[in-house]
């Protein structure tokens, strides 16, 4: 790209940048152009109505392969299926999308965890929407699985994990269908091909069937043995760590010394997933505080579920500094644990391995690893908790944690030496206030996790700097009134995520900003016979996603008493909501997208 074009890009803004870039490299629609988003929830909706941005598609006729159809889930058994490639859907593909539809019949049912795997690799991980006596929710989740496309070239066993109970009490029946939708590339050497991993290694409880691995405590680990080709060039690990059981609300727990006094869960509030290679720490994924649709009060999530509750996005760790070690032709242990977990975390994910096509074998070494020797799950705390003569407990519990590490490695590739340095900086705080006595149990929580992860790649071609800045804020005010038998809840949480790639002599090649905020108020009355009466509930969500490929999506929703009452679309987007089909408006890992855009240059 010429210096003149780069100047125009800065002056003209994101929408013009896409057109200029496409014209400059002659690839046209392969890089995509933003298209108007016309789908939207409607006022009055009661099932699932949220602000989620859809995945737009390339302007080509797709080919669809069904994975399973109208599968009911009424117990804890696994549901296998067989994936067989369709000759009519042969690659190369510009984009591959997993679509999964779910519905729950009217009645009572817990939020349930759902996973879909092919060849042991996880393609989807999320939870379900709870139904109600007069509401049968229906919803669709979508995942861009283009990076996993090599999985789909051959027949593979598949598996759906969605354990549930159906009996006289829990009457809601969950049903699901899923398919892969393949969009053919318009050009054989489309830039999207650079996103596709040469190898996909499942990080799962079963490498053949897939599925989660449950970590019962901080010492448990998911461990696999893997032998990779000798010409490894890049490696990523997509990690999902879902809090369950007593860890579901880890962000509201307290140190063990206060757990009995405050009638709360112990273990503190800091959780993070550690990935190790042969026992050596290789990366840390701070846990996101997902809130499922039965959390504390189901009215807080109807009809608008919490941030990513129905469709978790993985945290991507860059393991490229370890490429020389993992590509030495020997077997290595890859393990994931959650130090400090109590009971527990369900973990799953994949390793994405990219090979150097111009080399039989790469070589190199690890240069630095300051994560080695650090301890997982640690935090500092202070408290002013006091117990008065009447047994009333009150005061504050303050906790904080910090982590910083840098891991670097050099690799001799067919294009010369490449040095990769990964740095992560994390700051965490959690402030809680309690009042516990015979008349009420009250807890206020204000917590924030700030994460900055930077990957710097240096070669003879220059330097590339990728930077992700993430914020996980959560606040909660909870009050149980023992005299009035009422429960009052205010809760707000969000996911803020900024991504940027900067290339030497070319400037900013890609950037995106993602803001997803959810807030709810809910109040319940408990009568003497145990009957629960809904007094009030209101929910709001605001999602905004923009990027340098012309995407601008802005949607806000409001709801009351489980019914969507208002929606606005495209308020801060000139021309309304528009999404480029190459974009990832769901905040999925985007290093592959960055590689595709830069390779097109």
Question: d(Cα 479, Cα 488) in Å, to the nearest integer?
Answer: 5
Contact 174, 73 (CB under 8 A): yes
Question: Considering only 7-16, 142-151, 191-200, 514-523, which range has the smallest mean pLDDT?
Answer: 7-16
Question: d(Cα 20, Cα 323) in Å, to the nearest integer?
Answer: 36
Q: Is the pLDDT of residue 7 over 70?
A: no
pLDDT, residue 187, reads 72
Question: d(Cα 522, Cα 293) in Å, to the nearest integer?
Answer: 13
Question: d(Cα 246, Cα 342) in Å, to the nearest integer?
Answer: 7
Residue 143, φ and ψ in degrees, nearest 5: -135, 130
pLDDT, one tens digit per residue, over 80-130 is: 999 999 999 998 899 999 999 999 999 999 999 999 999 999 999 999 999
Q: Where are the domains of the chain?
A: 3-600
Mean pLDDT value across residues 487-509: 95
The string of DSSP letters for 63-112 reads EEEEEEEEEEE-SS--EEEEE---GGG-S-EEEEEEEEEEEE-SS-----
**pLDDT above 70: percentage of residues in the chain:** 94
Per-residue confidence band for 601, with pLDDT thresholds at 50, 70 and 90: low
pLDDT, one tens digit per residue, over 287-308 is: 999 999 999 999 999 999 999 9
DSSP 263: T
Continuous segment of H or E residues that includes residue 7: helix 3-12
pLDDT, residue 29, reads 40
Q: Tell me which of 387 and 12 has the higher pLDDT.
A: 387
3-class state of residue 587 by DSSP: coil
**CA angle, 147 as apex, 145 and 150 as ends, to 5°?**
95
Question: d(Cα 149, Cα 182) in Å, to the nearest integer?
Answer: 9
Mean pLDDT value across residues 466-472: 98
pLDDT, residue 394, reads 97
DSSP 250: G
- Summary mean pLDDT of the chain: 92
CA 291 to chain centroid, in Å, comes to 13
pLDDT, residue 343, reads 87
Choose among 486, 386, 379, 493: nearest CA to 433.
386
Question: d(Cα 103, Cα 142) in Å, to the nearest integer?
Answer: 15
How many residues are recorded in the chain?
A: 601
pLDDT, residue 440, reads 95
The set of long-range contacts for 4-11, using a CB threshold of 8 Å and a minimum separation of 24, is 6/506, 6/507, 10/507
Q: How many CA atoms lie within 13 A of 118 on its CB side?
A: 25
Locate tokens 């448990």: which residue? 220
Question: d(Cα 336, Cα 385) in Å, to the nearest integer?
Answer: 35
DSSP 521: E
The tokens describing 114, both together, are: 């759902």
Q: Is the pLDDT of residue 276 over 50?
A: yes
pLDDT, one tens digit per residue, over 560-593 is: 999 999 999 999 999 899 999 999 999 999 999 9
Mean pLDDT value across residues 29-54: 89
Q: What are the start-end ranges of the E strands in 244-330?
A: 272-277, 280-286, 315-318
Q: How many CA atoms lie within 13 A of 232 on its CB side?
A: 28
Q: What are the start-end ranges of the E strands in 278-314?
A: 280-286
Residue 533, φ and ψ in degrees, nearest 5: -115, 130
The tokens describing 160, both together, are: 């759906």
Question: d(Cα 497, Cα 513) in Å, to the nearest integer?
Answer: 6
**Helix, strand, coil in percent for the chain, rounding step 5:** 10, 50, 40
Per-residue confidence band for 530, with pLDDT thresholds at 50, 70 and 90: confident
């Amino acid at each position: 790209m010429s210096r003149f074009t780069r100047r125009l890009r800065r002056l003209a803004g994101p929408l013009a940048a896409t057109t200029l870039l496409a014209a400059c490299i002659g690839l046209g629609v392969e890089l995509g152009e933003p298209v108007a988003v016309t789908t939207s929830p409607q006022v009055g909706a009661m099932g699932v109505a949220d602000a989620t941005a859809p995945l737009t598609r390339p302007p080509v006729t797709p080919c669809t392969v069904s994975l399973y159809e109208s599968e009911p889930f009424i117990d804890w058994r696994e549901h296998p299926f067989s994936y067989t490639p369709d000759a009519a859907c042969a690659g190369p593909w510009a984009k591959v999308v997993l679509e999964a539809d779910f519905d729950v019949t009217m009645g009572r049912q817990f939020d349930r965890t759902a996973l879909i795997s092919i060849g042991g690799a996880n393609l989807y991980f999320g939870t379900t929407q709870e139904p109600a006596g007069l509401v049968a929710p229906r919803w669709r989740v979508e995942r861009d699985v283009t990076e996993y496309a090599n999985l789909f070239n051959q027949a593979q066993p598949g598996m759906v994990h969605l354990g549930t109970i159906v009996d006289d009490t829990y009457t809601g029946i969950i049903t699901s269908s899923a398919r892969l939708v393949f969009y053919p590339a318009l050009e054989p050497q489309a830039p999207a091909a650079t996103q596709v991993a040469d190898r996909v290694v499942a990080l799962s409880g079963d490498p053949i069937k897939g599925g989660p691995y449950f970590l019962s405590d901080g010492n448990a680990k998911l461990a696999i043995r893997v032998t990779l080709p000798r010409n490894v060039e890049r490696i990523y690990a997509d990690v999902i760590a879902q809090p369950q059981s007593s860890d579901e609300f880890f962000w509201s727990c307290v140190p063990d010394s206060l757990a009995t006094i405050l009638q709360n869960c112990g273990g503190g509030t800091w959780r993070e997933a550690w990935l190790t290679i042969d026992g050596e720490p290789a990366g840390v994924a701070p846990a996101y505080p997902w809130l499922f649709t039965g959390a504390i009060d189901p009215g807080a999530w109807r009809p608008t579920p919490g941030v990513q509750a129905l469709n978790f996005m993985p945290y991507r760790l860059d393991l490229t500094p370890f490429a020389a070690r993992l590509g030495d032709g020997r077997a290595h242990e890859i393990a994931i644990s959650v130090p400090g977990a109590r009971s527990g975390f369900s973990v799953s994910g994949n390793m994405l391995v990219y090979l150097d096509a111009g080399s039989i074998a790469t070589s190199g070494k690890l240069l630095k690893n300051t994560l080695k020797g650090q301890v997982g799950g640690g935090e500092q705390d202070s408290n002013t908790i006091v117990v008065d003569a009447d047994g009333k407990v009150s005061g504050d519990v303050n906790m904080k944690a910090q982590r910083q590490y840098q891991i670097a490695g050099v690799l001799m590739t067919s294009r010369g030496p490449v040095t990769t340095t990964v740095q992560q900086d994390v700051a965490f705080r959690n402030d809680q206030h309690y009042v516990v006595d015979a008349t009420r149990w009250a807890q206020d929580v204000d917590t924030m996790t700030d994460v900055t992860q930077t990957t710097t790649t240096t070669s003879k071609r220059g330097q590339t700097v990728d930077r992700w800045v993430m914020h996980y804020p959560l606040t909660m005010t909870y009050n149980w009134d023992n005299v009035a038998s009422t429960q009052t809840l205010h809760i707000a949480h969000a996911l803020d995520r900024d991504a940027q790639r900067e290339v030497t002599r070319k400037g900013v090649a890609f950037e995106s900003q993602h803001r997803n905020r959810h807030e709810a108020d809910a109040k319940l009355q408990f009568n003497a016979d145990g009957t629960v009466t809904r007094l009030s509930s209101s929910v709001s969500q605001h999602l905004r996603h923009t990027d340098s490929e012309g995407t601008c999506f802005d949607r806000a929703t409001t709801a009351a008493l489980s019914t969507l009452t208002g929606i606005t679309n495209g308020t801060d987007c000139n021309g309304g909501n528009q999404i480029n089909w190459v974009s990832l408006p769901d905040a999925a890992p985007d290093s592959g997208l960055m590689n595709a855009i830069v390779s097109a240059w």
